[in-house]
Structure 1
Amino acid sequence: MNFEIKQLFDLFHTQAADYLSAFRYPWEALDGIKQMILNLGEKLPADEYEQRAEGVWVHKTAKVFPSAYLGTPCIIGPETEVRHCAFIRGSALVGANCVIGNSVELKNVILFDNVQVPHYNYVGDSILGYKSHMGAGSITSNVKSDKSLIVIHNGDERIETGRKKIGAILGDCVEVGCNSVLNPGTIIGRNSNVYPVSCVRGVVPENSIWKNNGMVCIKNS
Protein backbone atom coordinates (compact mmCIF):
# COMPACT_ATOMS: atom_id res chain seq x y z
CA MET A 1 0.00 0.00 0.00
CA ASN A 2 1.06 3.53 -0.69
CA PHE A 3 0.48 5.69 2.39
CA GLU A 4 1.32 9.05 0.89
CA ILE A 5 -1.18 11.91 1.31
CA LYS A 6 -2.19 11.81 -2.35
CA GLN A 7 -3.09 8.11 -2.06
CA LEU A 8 -5.07 8.43 1.18
CA PHE A 9 -7.16 11.55 0.63
CA ASP A 10 -9.19 13.51 -1.89
CA LEU A 11 -8.00 16.98 -0.94
CA PHE A 12 -11.08 18.55 -2.50
CA HIS A 13 -12.89 17.78 0.76
CA THR A 14 -10.89 19.91 3.20
CA GLN A 15 -9.91 23.52 3.75
CA ALA A 16 -6.42 22.20 4.50
CA ALA A 17 -5.85 21.14 0.87
CA ASP A 18 -3.09 23.64 0.10
CA TYR A 19 -1.39 22.92 3.41
CA LEU A 20 -1.47 19.14 3.07
CA SER A 21 -0.34 19.18 -0.55
CA ALA A 22 3.02 20.54 0.61
CA PHE A 23 3.82 17.23 2.34
CA ARG A 24 4.43 13.68 1.15
CA TYR A 25 3.45 11.75 4.27
CA PRO A 26 0.52 12.71 6.53
CA TRP A 27 2.42 12.67 9.83
CA GLU A 28 4.71 15.38 8.45
CA ALA A 29 1.74 17.78 8.57
CA LEU A 30 0.97 17.35 12.28
CA ASP A 31 3.40 19.94 13.65
CA GLY A 32 1.96 22.86 11.70
CA ILE A 33 -1.77 22.33 12.26
CA LYS A 34 -2.09 25.09 14.85
CA GLN A 35 -0.52 27.77 12.68
CA MET A 36 -2.37 26.55 9.60
CA ILE A 37 -5.70 27.01 11.40
CA LEU A 38 -4.77 30.50 12.55
CA ASN A 39 -3.79 31.45 9.01
CA LEU A 40 -7.01 30.03 7.58
CA GLY A 41 -9.16 31.66 10.22
CA GLU A 42 -7.97 35.14 9.39
CA LYS A 43 -9.14 34.66 5.80
CA LEU A 44 -12.59 33.22 6.48
CA PRO A 45 -15.49 35.36 5.19
CA ALA A 46 -17.15 37.26 8.03
CA ASP A 47 -20.57 36.83 6.47
CA GLU A 48 -20.22 33.03 6.77
CA TYR A 49 -18.21 32.51 9.97
CA GLU A 50 -18.70 33.85 13.48
CA GLN A 51 -15.56 34.45 15.50
CA ARG A 52 -16.68 33.35 18.96
CA ALA A 53 -13.36 33.95 20.68
CA GLU A 54 -9.80 34.69 19.71
CA GLY A 55 -8.76 31.89 17.38
CA VAL A 56 -12.21 30.24 17.34
CA TRP A 57 -14.30 30.37 14.15
CA VAL A 58 -17.69 28.67 13.76
CA HIS A 59 -19.70 28.60 10.56
CA LYS A 60 -23.11 30.20 10.96
CA THR A 61 -24.85 27.03 9.82
CA ALA A 62 -23.02 24.84 12.37
CA LYS A 63 -24.78 23.74 15.56
CA VAL A 64 -22.73 23.86 18.75
CA PHE A 65 -24.49 22.67 21.91
CA PRO A 66 -24.15 24.91 24.99
CA SER A 67 -22.06 22.44 27.00
CA ALA A 68 -19.44 21.94 24.26
CA TYR A 69 -15.99 23.47 24.78
CA LEU A 70 -14.21 25.09 21.84
CA GLY A 71 -10.51 25.60 22.55
CA THR A 72 -8.23 27.77 20.48
CA PRO A 73 -7.48 27.58 17.68
CA CYS A 74 -10.27 25.75 15.92
CA ILE A 75 -12.51 26.06 12.90
CA ILE A 76 -15.95 24.41 12.78
CA GLY A 77 -17.25 24.01 9.24
CA PRO A 78 -20.68 24.37 7.63
CA GLU A 79 -23.59 22.19 8.82
CA THR A 80 -21.36 20.49 11.40
CA GLU A 81 -22.84 19.47 14.74
CA VAL A 82 -20.80 19.66 17.97
CA ARG A 83 -22.83 17.87 20.61
CA HIS A 84 -23.11 18.03 24.40
CA CYS A 85 -19.88 17.93 26.41
CA ALA A 86 -17.63 17.69 23.35
CA PHE A 87 -14.13 18.87 24.32
CA ILE A 88 -12.20 20.48 21.48
CA ARG A 89 -8.90 21.16 23.20
CA GLY A 90 -7.50 23.17 20.31
CA SER A 91 -5.67 22.92 16.99
CA ALA A 92 -8.71 21.30 15.41
CA LEU A 93 -9.84 21.91 11.85
CA VAL A 94 -13.31 20.36 11.49
CA GLY A 95 -14.81 20.25 8.02
CA ALA A 96 -18.34 20.51 6.68
CA ASN A 97 -21.21 18.17 7.64
CA CYS A 98 -19.24 16.55 10.46
CA VAL A 99 -20.53 15.12 13.72
CA ILE A 100 -18.53 15.67 16.90
CA GLY A 101 -20.47 13.70 19.46
CA ASN A 102 -21.10 13.70 23.16
CA SER A 103 -17.95 13.55 25.29
CA VAL A 104 -15.68 13.42 22.24
CA GLU A 105 -12.22 14.95 22.67
CA LEU A 106 -10.24 16.41 19.76
CA LYS A 107 -6.66 17.67 19.87
CA ASN A 108 -4.32 18.64 17.01
CA VAL A 109 -6.42 17.13 14.25
CA ILE A 110 -7.66 17.65 10.72
CA LEU A 111 -11.12 16.26 10.06
CA PHE A 112 -12.15 16.27 6.42
CA ASP A 113 -15.76 16.92 5.38
CA ASN A 114 -18.45 14.42 6.44
CA VAL A 115 -16.36 12.84 9.19
CA GLN A 116 -18.26 11.31 12.11
CA VAL A 117 -16.81 10.84 15.59
CA PRO A 118 -20.20 10.63 17.30
CA HIS A 119 -19.82 8.91 20.69
CA TYR A 120 -17.08 8.88 23.32
CA ASN A 121 -14.12 9.10 20.96
CA TYR A 122 -10.63 10.47 21.57
CA VAL A 123 -8.86 11.72 18.45
CA GLY A 124 -5.44 13.29 18.93
CA ASP A 125 -2.54 14.08 16.56
CA SER A 126 -4.52 12.51 13.76
CA ILE A 127 -5.99 13.12 10.31
CA LEU A 128 -9.39 11.65 9.39
CA GLY A 129 -10.27 11.54 5.70
CA TYR A 130 -13.52 12.29 3.90
CA LYS A 131 -16.53 10.30 5.15
CA SER A 132 -14.46 8.37 7.69
CA HIS A 133 -16.35 7.17 10.74
CA MET A 134 -15.26 6.05 14.20
CA GLY A 135 -17.72 3.83 16.05
CA ALA A 136 -18.74 4.46 19.65
CA GLY A 137 -15.85 4.27 22.08
CA SER A 138 -13.14 3.89 19.44
CA ILE A 139 -10.03 5.97 20.12
CA THR A 140 -6.64 6.93 18.78
CA SER A 141 -3.67 6.25 21.03
CA ASN A 142 -1.05 8.87 20.18
CA VAL A 143 1.86 8.10 22.54
CA LYS A 144 3.68 4.82 23.11
CA SER A 145 3.74 3.50 26.67
CA ASP A 146 7.55 3.79 26.82
CA LYS A 147 7.41 7.29 25.25
CA SER A 148 9.83 6.24 22.50
CA LEU A 149 9.66 7.68 18.98
CA ILE A 150 6.99 6.22 16.74
CA VAL A 151 7.88 3.89 13.90
CA ILE A 152 5.39 3.17 11.12
CA HIS A 153 5.23 -0.58 10.42
CA ASN A 154 4.25 -1.67 6.93
CA GLY A 155 4.89 -5.40 6.87
CA ASP A 156 8.66 -5.76 7.16
CA GLU A 157 9.19 -2.10 6.32
CA ARG A 158 9.93 0.26 9.22
CA ILE A 159 9.62 4.02 8.76
CA GLU A 160 11.23 6.19 11.41
CA THR A 161 9.04 9.26 11.93
CA GLY A 162 11.14 11.04 14.54
CA ARG A 163 7.91 11.93 16.34
CA LYS A 164 6.81 11.13 19.86
CA LYS A 165 3.12 11.73 19.08
CA ILE A 166 1.14 10.33 16.17
CA GLY A 167 -2.39 9.06 16.54
CA ALA A 168 -4.03 7.52 13.49
CA ILE A 169 -4.37 8.44 9.85
CA LEU A 170 -7.66 7.33 8.30
CA GLY A 171 -8.03 7.48 4.54
CA ASP A 172 -11.28 8.46 2.87
CA CYS A 173 -14.35 6.34 3.70
CA VAL A 174 -12.74 4.30 6.48
CA GLU A 175 -15.07 2.61 9.01
CA VAL A 176 -13.72 1.87 12.49
CA GLY A 177 -15.80 -0.47 14.66
CA CYS A 178 -16.96 0.30 18.19
CA ASN A 179 -14.49 0.18 21.08
CA SER A 180 -11.44 -0.24 18.86
CA VAL A 181 -8.01 1.16 19.71
CA LEU A 182 -5.85 2.56 16.94
CA ASN A 183 -2.29 2.35 18.25
CA PRO A 184 0.28 5.12 17.66
CA GLY A 185 1.18 5.44 14.01
CA THR A 186 -1.73 3.42 12.62
CA ILE A 187 -2.53 4.18 8.98
CA ILE A 188 -5.71 2.80 7.39
CA GLY A 189 -6.11 3.01 3.63
CA ARG A 190 -9.16 4.23 1.77
CA ASN A 191 -12.43 2.27 1.90
CA SER A 192 -11.23 -0.10 4.61
CA ASN A 193 -13.09 -1.43 7.65
CA VAL A 194 -11.99 -2.33 11.17
CA TYR A 195 -13.95 -4.91 13.15
CA PRO A 196 -15.36 -3.78 16.52
CA VAL A 197 -13.17 -4.26 19.62
CA SER A 198 -9.98 -4.41 17.54
CA CYS A 199 -6.46 -3.39 18.53
CA VAL A 200 -4.96 -2.03 15.32
CA ARG A 201 -1.34 -1.18 14.54
CA GLY A 202 0.74 -0.52 11.47
CA VAL A 203 -0.50 0.01 7.94
CA VAL A 204 -3.83 -1.44 6.83
CA PRO A 205 -4.14 -1.55 3.01
CA GLU A 206 -6.93 0.20 1.17
CA ASN A 207 -10.11 -1.74 0.34
CA SER A 208 -9.50 -4.26 3.11
CA ILE A 209 -10.97 -5.52 6.39
CA TRP A 210 -9.06 -5.74 9.67
CA LYS A 211 -10.53 -8.58 11.72
CA ASN A 212 -10.38 -9.12 15.49
CA ASN A 213 -7.36 -11.41 15.39
CA GLY A 214 -5.36 -8.95 13.30
CA MET A 215 -5.94 -10.85 10.07
CA VAL A 216 -6.42 -8.54 7.08
CA CYS A 217 -8.66 -9.58 4.20
CA ILE A 218 -9.02 -7.75 0.89
CA LYS A 219 -12.60 -6.83 0.10
CA ASN A 220 -14.31 -8.57 -2.79
CA SER A 221 -14.72 -6.22 -5.72
Structure 2
Amino acid sequence: MEELTPNAFFDLEKFSHAALFEECRFVWEALIQMEAYLKKASLGGIECAVPSAATLVHPESIAIGKGTVIEEGSYLRGPCLIGAGCTIRQGAYLRGPVILGDGCVIGHASEVKHTIALNEAHVAHFNYVGDSILGNGVNLGAGFICSNLRFDKAPVVVVIRGKRIETGCKKLGLIAGDGSHLGCNGVSNPGTLLGKQAVAFPCLNFGGFHGAHALIAKGGKRR
Protein backbone atom coordinates (compact mmCIF):
# COMPACT_ATOMS: atom_id res chain seq x y z
CA MET A 1 0.00 0.00 0.00
CA GLU A 2 1.72 3.13 -1.24
CA GLU A 3 -0.21 5.37 1.16
CA LEU A 4 1.40 3.59 4.13
CA THR A 5 5.03 3.88 2.97
CA PRO A 6 7.39 6.43 4.55
CA ASN A 7 7.46 8.55 1.38
CA ALA A 8 3.71 9.04 1.59
CA PHE A 9 4.19 10.83 4.90
CA PHE A 10 7.62 12.45 4.82
CA ASP A 11 10.14 14.22 2.61
CA LEU A 12 13.28 12.52 3.88
CA GLU A 13 15.81 14.35 1.70
CA LYS A 14 17.04 16.69 4.46
CA PHE A 15 16.55 14.37 7.43
CA SER A 16 19.88 13.16 8.78
CA HIS A 17 18.46 9.78 9.74
CA ALA A 18 16.61 8.91 6.55
CA ALA A 19 18.35 5.52 6.60
CA LEU A 20 15.93 4.50 9.36
CA PHE A 21 13.18 4.32 6.75
CA GLU A 22 15.04 2.75 3.84
CA GLU A 23 13.84 -0.82 4.34
CA CYS A 24 10.40 0.01 5.72
CA ARG A 25 7.40 -1.35 3.86
CA PHE A 26 5.10 0.35 6.37
CA VAL A 27 6.00 3.68 7.95
CA TRP A 28 5.74 2.48 11.56
CA GLU A 29 8.46 -0.12 11.00
CA ALA A 30 11.03 2.64 11.55
CA LEU A 31 10.08 2.58 15.23
CA ILE A 32 10.86 -1.13 15.39
CA GLN A 33 14.31 -0.46 13.89
CA MET A 34 15.24 2.39 16.25
CA GLU A 35 17.10 0.29 18.81
CA ALA A 36 19.36 -1.35 16.22
CA TYR A 37 19.93 1.99 14.48
CA LEU A 38 20.99 3.73 17.68
CA LYS A 39 23.38 0.92 18.60
CA LYS A 40 25.30 1.68 15.40
CA ALA A 41 25.11 5.47 15.79
CA SER A 42 27.88 7.68 17.08
CA LEU A 43 26.64 8.70 20.51
CA GLY A 44 28.23 10.61 23.37
CA GLY A 45 29.10 13.74 21.41
CA ILE A 46 27.47 16.79 22.97
CA GLU A 47 28.15 19.92 20.91
CA CYS A 48 26.28 22.47 22.99
CA ALA A 49 26.29 23.85 26.50
CA VAL A 50 24.41 21.81 29.08
CA PRO A 51 23.54 23.65 32.30
CA SER A 52 24.24 21.93 35.60
CA ALA A 53 20.52 22.10 36.42
CA ALA A 54 19.68 19.87 33.44
CA THR A 55 19.79 16.10 33.93
CA LEU A 56 21.42 13.75 31.43
CA VAL A 57 21.10 10.07 32.32
CA HIS A 58 23.57 7.82 30.48
CA PRO A 59 25.22 10.78 28.71
CA GLU A 60 27.45 8.36 26.82
CA SER A 61 24.31 7.35 24.89
CA ILE A 62 23.22 10.91 24.11
CA ALA A 63 24.33 13.01 21.12
CA ILE A 64 23.34 16.67 20.76
CA GLY A 65 24.04 18.86 17.74
CA LYS A 66 25.46 22.37 17.50
CA GLY A 67 23.32 25.33 18.43
CA THR A 68 20.85 23.30 20.45
CA VAL A 69 19.61 24.92 23.66
CA ILE A 70 19.19 22.69 26.70
CA GLU A 71 17.36 24.60 29.40
CA GLU A 72 17.65 24.16 33.15
CA GLY A 73 15.28 21.54 34.52
CA SER A 74 15.10 19.41 31.39
CA TYR A 75 15.61 15.64 31.77
CA LEU A 76 17.15 13.46 29.05
CA ARG A 77 17.55 9.71 29.39
CA GLY A 78 19.52 8.04 26.61
CA PRO A 79 19.69 6.78 24.04
CA CYS A 80 18.89 10.09 22.36
CA LEU A 81 20.04 11.59 19.07
CA ILE A 82 19.23 15.30 19.01
CA GLY A 83 19.95 17.40 15.95
CA ALA A 84 21.30 20.92 15.54
CA GLY A 85 19.40 24.04 16.52
CA CYS A 86 16.86 22.29 18.73
CA THR A 87 15.36 23.66 21.93
CA ILE A 88 14.75 21.40 24.92
CA ARG A 89 12.87 23.56 27.39
CA GLN A 90 12.55 23.54 31.15
CA GLY A 91 10.49 20.58 32.35
CA ALA A 92 10.85 18.58 29.13
CA TYR A 93 11.32 14.81 29.59
CA LEU A 94 13.00 12.80 26.83
CA ARG A 95 12.89 9.08 27.55
CA GLY A 96 15.00 7.25 25.00
CA PRO A 97 15.07 5.91 22.45
CA VAL A 98 14.40 9.32 20.91
CA ILE A 99 15.63 10.76 17.60
CA LEU A 100 15.09 14.44 16.84
CA GLY A 101 15.98 16.15 13.57
CA ASP A 102 17.24 19.71 13.32
CA GLY A 103 15.26 22.62 14.75
CA CYS A 104 12.88 20.60 16.90
CA VAL A 105 11.27 22.02 20.04
CA ILE A 106 10.36 19.92 23.07
CA GLY A 107 8.63 22.17 25.55
CA HIS A 108 7.63 22.51 29.17
CA ALA A 109 5.90 19.50 30.76
CA SER A 110 6.15 17.53 27.51
CA GLU A 111 7.23 13.88 27.53
CA VAL A 112 8.67 12.19 24.45
CA LYS A 113 9.55 8.48 24.40
CA HIS A 114 10.37 5.97 21.67
CA THR A 115 9.72 8.62 19.04
CA ILE A 116 11.21 9.97 15.82
CA ALA A 117 10.67 13.66 15.05
CA LEU A 118 11.83 15.05 11.72
CA ASN A 119 13.14 18.58 11.22
CA GLU A 120 11.29 21.51 12.82
CA ALA A 121 8.72 19.38 14.63
CA HIS A 122 7.25 21.19 17.64
CA VAL A 123 6.04 19.50 20.82
CA ALA A 124 5.95 22.68 22.80
CA HIS A 125 3.43 22.67 25.65
CA PHE A 126 2.09 19.92 27.93
CA ASN A 127 2.22 17.09 25.39
CA TYR A 128 2.74 13.33 25.54
CA VAL A 129 4.29 11.71 22.47
CA GLY A 130 5.03 8.00 22.73
CA ASP A 131 5.86 5.42 20.05
CA SER A 132 5.20 8.01 17.38
CA ILE A 133 6.70 9.63 14.29
CA LEU A 134 6.26 13.34 13.61
CA GLY A 135 7.10 14.69 10.18
CA ASN A 136 8.85 17.88 9.13
CA GLY A 137 7.19 20.96 10.59
CA VAL A 138 4.51 19.08 12.51
CA ASN A 139 3.04 21.13 15.35
CA LEU A 140 1.19 19.75 18.36
CA GLY A 141 -1.05 22.27 20.07
CA ALA A 142 -0.88 22.72 23.84
CA GLY A 143 -2.13 19.68 25.71
CA PHE A 144 -2.29 17.36 22.69
CA ILE A 145 -1.80 13.71 23.71
CA CYS A 146 -0.70 10.84 21.46
CA SER A 147 -2.10 7.75 23.17
CA ASN A 148 -0.22 4.60 22.31
CA LEU A 149 -1.72 1.63 24.16
CA ARG A 150 -5.10 -0.01 23.74
CA PHE A 151 -7.26 -0.62 26.81
CA ASP A 152 -7.09 -4.38 26.17
CA LYS A 153 -3.32 -4.17 25.50
CA ALA A 154 -3.78 -6.04 22.22
CA PRO A 155 -1.43 -5.25 19.30
CA VAL A 156 -2.42 -2.11 17.43
CA VAL A 157 -4.25 -2.62 14.14
CA VAL A 158 -4.41 -0.06 11.32
CA VAL A 159 -7.59 -0.03 9.24
CA ILE A 160 -7.54 1.54 5.78
CA ARG A 161 -10.40 1.25 3.28
CA GLY A 162 -11.87 -1.55 5.38
CA LYS A 163 -8.67 -3.59 5.36
CA ARG A 164 -7.11 -4.47 8.72
CA ILE A 165 -3.32 -4.39 8.86
CA GLU A 166 -1.55 -5.93 11.83
CA THR A 167 1.29 -3.63 12.89
CA GLY A 168 2.87 -6.11 15.29
CA CYS A 169 3.25 -3.23 17.76
CA LYS A 170 1.79 -3.45 21.24
CA LYS A 171 2.36 0.30 21.49
CA LEU A 172 1.90 2.64 18.54
CA GLY A 173 0.96 6.29 18.85
CA LEU A 174 0.65 8.89 16.10
CA ILE A 175 2.20 9.00 12.65
CA ALA A 176 1.82 12.60 11.46
CA GLY A 177 2.91 13.56 7.96
CA ASP A 178 4.90 16.67 7.08
CA GLY A 179 3.24 19.95 7.94
CA SER A 180 0.38 18.48 9.95
CA HIS A 181 -1.15 20.56 12.73
CA LEU A 182 -2.93 19.10 15.74
CA GLY A 183 -5.20 21.38 17.77
CA CYS A 184 -4.97 22.06 21.49
CA ASN A 185 -6.25 19.53 24.03
CA GLY A 186 -6.85 16.78 21.48
CA VAL A 187 -6.18 13.05 21.78
CA SER A 188 -5.13 10.71 18.98
CA ASN A 189 -5.98 7.07 19.59
CA PRO A 190 -3.36 4.31 19.19
CA GLY A 191 -2.30 3.78 15.60
CA THR A 192 -3.58 7.09 14.20
CA LEU A 193 -2.08 7.97 10.80
CA LEU A 194 -2.26 11.44 9.23
CA GLY A 195 -1.00 12.25 5.75
CA LYS A 196 0.92 15.38 4.82
CA GLN A 197 -0.62 18.76 5.67
CA ALA A 198 -3.46 17.26 7.71
CA VAL A 199 -5.23 19.42 10.28
CA ALA A 200 -7.17 18.32 13.37
CA PHE A 201 -9.33 20.87 15.16
CA PRO A 202 -8.89 21.40 18.93
CA CYS A 203 -10.50 19.25 21.64
CA LEU A 204 -11.02 16.17 19.46
CA ASN A 205 -10.64 12.47 20.22
CA PHE A 206 -9.95 10.74 16.92
CA GLY A 207 -8.15 7.82 15.32
CA GLY A 208 -7.77 5.84 12.12
CA PHE A 209 -6.16 6.74 8.80
CA HIS A 210 -6.60 10.21 7.30
CA GLY A 211 -4.90 11.05 4.03
CA ALA A 212 -2.99 14.13 2.90
CA HIS A 213 -4.72 17.49 3.46
CA ALA A 214 -7.41 15.92 5.65
CA LEU A 215 -9.34 18.34 7.84
CA ILE A 216 -10.61 16.56 10.94
CA ALA A 217 -13.40 18.34 12.79
CA LYS A 218 -16.12 17.51 15.29
CA GLY A 219 -18.63 15.28 13.58
CA GLY A 220 -16.11 13.86 11.12
CA LYS A 221 -13.88 14.92 8.26
CA ARG A 222 -14.65 18.10 6.35
CA ARG A 223 -12.45 17.21 3.42
TM-score normalised to structure 2 length: 0.90
Shift of 1:3: 2.2
Q: Judging changes above 3 Å, is the alpha-carbon distance between structure 1 residues 82 and 17 closer, same or farther for their aligned structure 2 residues?
A: same
Equivalent position to 2:118, from 112, 122, 130: 112
Q: Which residue of 2 aligns with 1:24?
A: 25
Contact (CA 8 Å) 1:49, 1:57: kept in 2 or not? no
Q: Judging changes above 3 Å, is the alpha-carbon distance between structure 1 residues 205 and 116 closer, same or farther for their aligned structure 2 residues?
A: same
Contact (CA 8 Å) 2:157, 2:165: kept in 1 or not? yes
Equivalent position to 2:131, from 125, 130, 136: 125
- Which string of whole-angstrom CA distances, capped at 9 and with x for unpartnered residues, describes residues 33-53 of structure 1? 1331342334x9x69578971
- Counterpart amino acid of 1:208? A
Equivalent position to 1:89, from 83, 95, 99: 95
Equivalent position to 2:203, from 179, 197, 219: 197
Contact (CA 8 Å) 2:194, 2:212: kept in 1 or not? yes
Q: Which residue of 1 aligns with 2:69?
A: 63
Shift of 1:187: 0.2
Contact (CA 8 Å) 1:167, 1:185: kept in 2 or not? yes
Equivalent position to 1:206, from 196, 212, 220: 212
For residues 163 and 133 of structure 1, what CA distance do their matches in structure 2 show? 24
Shift of 1:98: 1.0
Superposed CA RMSD in Å reads: 1.9
TM-score normalised to structure 1 length: 0.91
SS of 1:123's partner is strand
Equivalent position to 1:170, from 167, 173, 176: 176
Q: Does 1:217 align with 2:217?
A: no
Shift of 1:59: 1.5
For residues 111 and 15 of structure 2, what CA distance do their matches in structure 1 show? 20
SS of 2:67's partner is coil
Quote the sequence identity (%).
33
Equivalent position to 1:141, from 147, 153, 157: 147
Shift of 1:76: 1.5
Contact (CA 8 Å) 1:71, 1:88: kept in 2 or not? yes
Shift of 1:162: 2.0
- Which string of whole-angstrom CA distances, capped at 9 and with x for unpartnered residues, describes residues 72-126 of structure 1? 1001111100000100011001111111000110111110000000001110111
Q: Judging changes above 3 Å, is the alpha-carbon distance between structure 1 residues 64 and 197 closer, same or farther for their aligned structure 2 residues?
A: same
Q: Which residue of 2 aligns with 1:150?
A: 156
Alignment of 1:32-47 (within 5 A): 32-42=33-43
Q: Which residue of 1 aligns with 2:84?
A: 78
